[in-house]
Structures are given as structure tokens and as C-alpha cells.
């Protein structure tokens, strides 16, 4: 992404909600040659982030930001998006002909309907990436996917904006947005929870550097999953080692009831997938389910992870 201020079609950009995402996307659009003309932030943290990432950009009210911009990035929390749009329309802010782009994974463009009826041009541009608020957030945009939803006539505009920010647009139909977002949240958010839980359990087991131990293992597991899908499975469940699984269940019940419940739910899902893929025999699956229900299975343990 390199700056190019002499290209045609450059837009005046407003950012409503200068959080981690809004500041990163605003900066990316600046590098693409657009001009961020105003930003709105509520907290002092967001205002400070605007000063750092969007230097010289004036902080204004939401209404002033919308009025000043051709393209408005609505980078607010999901639950705040609908009230924001309703409030804009109720205050008679002129939105006709303006591109309104939100970054929520949950919503398509229907959430923007009140503004669309007033003449706004609705876009949903969801970056599939986590943002930490660190300076490298902008560089994380390079090559990532954006889930894009828009009215069909605006699809070229939506996809062009994503490309300009360094991303790859992937079309998500309006009616599939909830499923799309559930898949992403389940994969990314629950992965963090699982890793944190594994690190805590290893610490209780006496491991001084659990992250160092887990890094190579989890890196290989993730690579296998992305390349091979369910056929990348390893471990006692796919091997049918009911005795090992039963011992895990017993120990986790003693140490961490929360981890115990999560282990059982995920082991059952793993067994179901392995069975459906032909990786696990039906009789082994039955013994595993007995172990997960509190039975011991046999005492034969496998090796490896």
C-alpha cells in the first residue's frame, strides 16, 4: 500500500469510532491516496489513537464527520451500529450519495436500511483479522480477507476499496452473514481460550514455559488443520484410546471443572467428525463415548499428542 494522492476517484473519508479497526483502516485508506478529513471518538483512548494514527485529522461530532465525508467508516461495536444509523437519520444529517461502510462481521447491509432509504450507499467491509491497537495493525491488512456485502451495483466499489487497503474481497450473501461470523468467532476466539487454558493446565503440571512447549505443537496442528481439514487430526480420540481419554476426564474433573466440560464437548465433536471421515471405527467411537460419559474404557494408552 503506497500513497498516491494524484490518482482519480480519491475520497474524503470520515471515521466514526476511532478504535483499533477504524484507525487502522483510516490509515490504510490514507496510504491508498484518500484523505481522512474528520474522525469521531468517544473515549480518551480512541482520541489518543486518532492523534497517533491519523495525525492532523480533526476530531468532530458524528454528525460533522458524516457531513464532511464522501466515505464514512462506521467502526463502532456491533450493538451500537443500528442505534447510530437510526440516530443519524433522526437528526436529518444529509447522507444522500455518501458511501456508508461498516466493519461488523455480524451484519450485512440491512442494518443500514434507514440510511439507505435516505439515499446513502451501503457497504459491509469486514476485515478478517484481529487488531490489538499496536502500530503493526496496518501491516496486518496486507493480504487478509474482507467479508464483503453490498447491493450488487455497489459491489465493484466495495471490492475496490478492499483491494486499495491491501486486502482480498470475498463476497458474503446478506442471509449468510450470521453463519459467516459465527464460524470466524468460533475459530479465532475459542482458539485463544483453548490455548490459554492449555497454558494454565501446563503451568499447574509444573511446566515453566508453557508457551514455548505449545508453540511448535500448535503451529503444526494449525497447519495440518488448514491443509488437511479433519484428516489432520492426531491424538487419543482419533486413535480410539478410550483409556487415555477416560484418564484425562478424571484428572480434569479434579483440577478444573470448566476445562473438564470443554474437553468432553470437544472430544465428542472430534469423535463425531473422525467417525464420519472414516478415521475412527464405530466400536472405538462407542468406547470413547462411554469414557466421556464417565466410563474408564480400557487401560491401553497410545503415544503422541
Model confidence pLDDT, tens digit, residues 186-220: 999 999 999 999 999 999 999 999 999 999 999 99
CA-CA distance, 182 to 170, in Å (whole number)?
16
**pLDDT per residue as tens digits for the range 10-60:** 999 999 998 889 989 999 999 999 999 999 987 777 778 778 888 899 999
**269-273 LR contacts (CB < 8 Å, sep 24+):** 270/233, 270/235, 270/237, 270/238, 271/237, 273/230, 273/233
Q: Stretch 57-64: mean pLDDT, rounded?
A: 94
pLDDT of residue 286: 95
Sheet order of strands, 35-40 included:
35-40, 12-16, 71-74, 99-102, 121-127, 145-149, 168-171
Taking residues 251-280, report their average pLDDT. 96
pLDDT attached to residue 187: 94
Q: How confident is the model at residue 9 (pLDDT cuts 50, 70, 90)?
A: low
DSSP per-residue letters across 165-197: TT-EEEE--GGGHHHHHHHHHHHHHHHHHHHHH
The pLDDT tens digits for 100-152 are: 999 999 999 999 999 999 999 999 999 999 887 777 777 888 899 999 999 99
pLDDT at 305: 55
| pLDDT confidence bin for 155, thresholds 50/70/90 | very high
**Is the per-residue pLDDT at 81 higher than 60?**
yes
How sure is the predictor about 234, in pLDDT bands with cuts at 50, 70 and 90? very high
CA distances from 24 to 50, 116, 132, 170, 265 (A): 10, 26, 10, 20, 37
pTM score, whole prediction = 0.84
Judge whether 30 and 43 are in contact, CB under 8 Å. no
Residue 8 has pLDDT above 70, yes or no: no
Alpha-carbon gap, residue 240 to 257, rounded angstroms:
24
Amino acid at each position: 500500500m503506497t500513497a498516491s494522492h494524484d490518482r482519480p476517484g480519491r475520497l474524503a473519508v470520515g471515521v466514526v469510532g476511532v478504535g483499533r479497526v477504524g484507525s487502522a483502516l483510516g490509515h490504510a485508506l490514507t496510504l491508498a491516496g484518500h484523505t481522512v478529513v474528520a474522525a469521531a471518538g468517544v473515549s480518551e483512548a480512541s482520541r489518543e489513537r486518532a492523534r497517533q494514527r491519523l495525525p492532523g485529522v480533526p476530531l468532530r461530532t458524528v454528525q460533522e464527520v458524516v457531513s464532511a465525508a464522501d466515505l464514512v467508516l462506521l467502526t463502532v461495536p456491533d450493538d451500537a451500529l443500528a442505534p447510530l444509523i437510526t440516530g443519524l437519520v433522526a437528526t436529518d444529517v444529509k447522507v444522500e450519495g455518501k458511501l456508508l461502510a461498516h466493519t461488523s462481521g455480524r451484519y450485512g447491509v440491512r442494518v443500514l436500511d434507514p440510511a439507505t432509504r435516505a439515499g446513502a450507499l451501503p457497504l459491509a467491509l469486514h476485515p478478517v483479522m484481529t487488531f490489538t491497537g499496536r502500530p503493526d495493525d496496518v501491516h496486518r491488512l496486507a493480504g487478509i480477507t474482507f467479508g464483503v456485502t453490498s447491493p450488487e451495483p455497489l459491489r465493484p466499489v466495495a471490492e475496490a476499496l478492499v483491494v486499495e487497503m491491501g486486502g482480498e474481497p470475498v463476497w458474503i450473501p446478506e442471509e449468510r452473514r450470521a453463519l459467516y461470523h459465527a464460524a470466524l468467532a468460533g475459530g479465532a476466539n475459542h482458539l485463544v481460550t483453548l490455548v490459554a487454558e492449555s497454558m494454565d493446565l501446563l503451568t499447574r503440571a509444573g511446566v515453566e514455559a508453557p508457551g514455548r512447549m505449545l508453540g511448535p505443537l500448535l503451529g503444526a496442528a494449525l497447519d495440518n488443520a488448514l491443509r488437511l481439514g479433519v484428516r489432520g487430526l492426531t491424538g487419543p480420540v482419533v486413535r480410539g484410546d478410550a483409556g487415555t481419554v477416560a484418564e484425562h476426564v478424571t484428572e480434569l474433573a479434579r483440577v478444573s471443572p470448566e476445562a473438564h466440560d470443554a474437553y468432553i464437548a470437544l472430544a465428542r465433536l472430534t469423535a463425531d467428525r473422525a467417525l464420519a471421515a472414516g478415521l475412527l471405527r464405530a466400536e472405538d467411537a462407542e468406547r470413547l463415548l462411554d469414557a466421556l460419559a464417565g466410563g474408564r474404557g480400557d487401560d491401553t494408552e497410545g503415544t503422541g499428542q
